[in-house]
Amino acid sequence: MSSLDDLYRRVIMDHYQKPRNKGKLDEAEGLTINLNNPTCGDSISLSLKVEDGIVTDAKFLGEGCSISMSSASMMTEAVKGKPVDEAIKLAQVFSDLMQGKQPEDDSLDLGDIEALSGVAKFPARIKCATLAWKALEQGVRQANQS
């Protein structure tokens, strides 16, 4: 195993063992999206607060494997404070990453999210990694409609 693989594994486990933004926003503050992956039992409840086109807060609750929960933790960190269009772009880049594609935009800082790039080698785990991101996409669409 390479030292980069080891580093990525540690980053994933850190987010799994010490998730960032775990919790739920008050319903009056934002909206909540509930998704699950019936093939493996992962579930997520993502709370988003979008104000003036900015994701001002994001929290999650859920149950699932280390990939699913660490991805949710990384995603909430990555999108907080970002304009909605940038959050959507990150979700698209993440989807491409899960298909083994490298981001075309080199200026985009993926931060800890890059640690999940190895999931692309395990097709059965891709749905685990993308669950929170699918919830984000749904939530942003709902926020734009209100």
pLDDT in tens, 20-63: 999 999 888 899 999 999 888 999 999 999 999 999 999 999 99
* % of the chain beyond a pLDDT of 70: 98
Query: What's the chain's Rg over C-alpha atoms?
Result: 14
Give the pLDDT score at 4.
76
Helix, strand and coil content of the chain, in percent to the nearest 5, comes to 55, 20, 25
What pLDDT is recorded for position 1? 57
Mean pLDDT score of the chain, rounded to an integer? 92
| Domain total in the chain | 1
* Dihedral sign of CA atoms 110, 72, 130, 81 in order: negative
What pLDDT does 39 receive? Answer: 87
What's the token pair of residue 58? 């994001």
Find the domain containing 72 and state its range: 3-145
Q: How many CB atoms lie within 10 A of CB 34?
A: 12
CATH number of the domain to which 108 belongs: 3.90.1010.10
Which run of H or E residues covers position 35?
A: strand 31-37
